[in-house]
Amino acid sequence: MPGISAGRPALRMGPAELVQAAAMARRFYLEGKSKIQIAEEFGVSRFKVARVLETALERDLVRIEIRVPAELDAERSDALRARYGLRHAVVVESPADGADESPDPENLGEVAADLLGELVTEGDVLGLAWGRSTIHMAAALDRLPPCTVVQLTGVYDAGTAERGSVEAVRRAAQVSGGEAHPIYAPMLLPDPATASALRNQPGIARAFDYFDKVTVAAVSIGSWEAGISTVHDMLPEEERAHYSSLGVAAEMSAHLFDAEGRRVGRDLGERCITVEADRLRRIPEVVAIAGGRRKSEAIGAVLRSGLVTSLVTDTVAADFLLKDFTPAPRPALERADPDGD
């Protein structure tokens, strides 16, 4: 809210000017009156009102403060949006107790839930990929316009579906009052044939049919290390070593990326129940939710892939990303294909 104070620079104005300027400023900034209304009240032209208001700002008679909730960092958010060509970037304060060592602080999910409430409109199709952050986000949802909700990936463990992405899809659909299309299948299968057979099952096929209709998607990002990447944890040691040798730096929805944002290990996708990368690229709004020191490099890699349009992260990851001068020739707004497909 604007504050009105007579600071030292304002003393150069005469007392009548000070009183008039303060009164006009109060009408305009605090009472919401237009310049024409103020001009009529004081018997002057609206152009003089504009000059008085401008002088009041220049001479520190009026001070305008822009405030956002304490947990949001507006400066970092804007810098991150500009640096990576994002539509939206929201940076949340990292925990002060050092808890940023854990992946994806839960407050990211809460902020992402509020962001989805802004982005989703009536009739949209909302896609949710598996991930701790998207599950936290779904649990925090308290408002969504009527929309269809579809699951974009299989689950980490089919035995925990009720507590994971299936429940997240149900929760989002319940809040919006729309249809839910969950996927009751593991994310990773032992071979391509099994994965193909599952994709053709009626319930899963119906969910896949919605992938091209998704207008807003929420995804998680994982670093290629134990406990931080779902796919990493699902693979046996020999396969982990194989994909590590390809230079994997990040994982998103079972797609693997090197540090430059190029997809690697594409054969893995043949065994996965997940939305394809080219379909992700066609979704108008893809919101990634990820933070913490251990995910910082992975977030940068995924941003350079061009698959993500918006990001919810924390100050620890944001500081790393803003200091990372690795070229990002394909900002997310262009939605370019980093692989030339």
Per-residue pLDDT tens over the stretch 219-242: 999 998 887 787 888 888 898 899
C-beta neighbour count of 58 within 10 angstroms:
11
Query: Based on C-alpha coordinates, what's the Rg of the chain?
Result: 25
Q: Sorting pLDDT into bands at 50, 70 and 90, what band is 9?
A: very low
Instruction: Measure the CA–CA gap between 247 and 225, rounded to whole angstroms.
Output: 12
Determine the average pLDDT of the residues in 150-174.
78
pLDDT at 7: 40
Q: What percent of the chain clears pLDDT 90, i.e. is strictly above it?
A: 52
Q: Among residues 130, 202, 127, 208, which one has the least CA distance to residue 164?
A: 130
Note whether 279 and 208 are within 8 A (CB).
no
**How would DSSP label each residue in 29-60?**
IIS---HHHHHHHHTS-HHHHHHHHHHHHHTT
Helix, strand, coil % over all residues of the chain, rounded to 5: 50, 15, 35
pLDDT at 6: 38
Specify the higher pLDDT residue, 10 or 49: 49
**In the predicted model, is pLDDT for residue 249 greater than 60?**
yes
> For position 58, what pLDDT does the model report?
85
Mean pLDDT of the 250-274 span: 92
From the centroid of its chain, how far is CA 1?
28
Instruction: Please tell me the predicted confidence (pLDDT) of residue 116.
Output: 93
pLDDT of residue 4: 44
Encode pLDDT of 101-154 as tens digits.
555 666 888 899 999 999 999 999 999 998 888 888 999 998 999 999 999 999
Q: If pLDDT is split at 50, 70 and 90, which confidence band does 335 have?
A: low
Query: 3-state DSSP call for residue 285?
Result: strand
Residue 96 pLDDT greater than 80, yes or no: no
The confidence score (pLDDT) of residue 339 equals 57
Q: Name the residue with tokens 């299936």.
A: 166
pLDDT digits (tens, 9 = 90+) for 291-315: 988 899 999 999 999 899 999 999 9
175: Cβ contacts below 8 Å, ≥ 6 apart: 141, 142, 143, 144
Q: What tokens does 303 get? A: 């941003």
Sign of CA dihedral 330, 333, 338, 341: negative
pLDDT at 162 over 50: no
CB within 8 Å of 223: residues ≥ 6 apart? 229, 249, 250, 251, 294, 295, 297, 298
d(CA 131, CA 112): 13
DSSP 152: -
